[in-house]
Amino acid sequence: MAPEVAPESAWFKSSYSAENGTNCVEVADLSRAGRVGIRDSKHPEGPALLVSANAFAAFVGMAR
């Protein structure tokens, strides 16, 4: 569950999320653990994906 991944205050919505709220992604900077959490903002209590900070940086770099 996402709350187990990071405290609620650690999550923030991606600047690329749709403003109408239908395609929202939130991320949590877990750099102390070398990870990034990713979750669906419409279902914050649902599962979260944990990836390494390096993998997330590579993904964002490729998406740009």
The residues, ordered by sequence, that sit 6+ positions from 29 with a Cβ below 8 Å of its Cβ are 10, 36
Tokens of 23: 């395609």
The H helix count followed by the E strand count for the chain is 2, 4
7-38 confidence digits (pLDDT tens): 888 998 877 666 666 678 899 999 888 999 99
Q: Which two tokens mark 24?
A: 């929202």
CA distance 26 to 37: 8
Give the phi and the psi of residue 58 in degrees, each rounded to 5: -65, -40
What is the count of structural domains for the chain? Answer: 1
Q: Which domain range does residue 16 map to?
A: 2-63
Residue pair 34/55 in contact (Cβ under 8 Å)? The answer is no
Question: For residue 1, what pLDDT band results from cuts at 50, 70 and 90?
Answer: very low
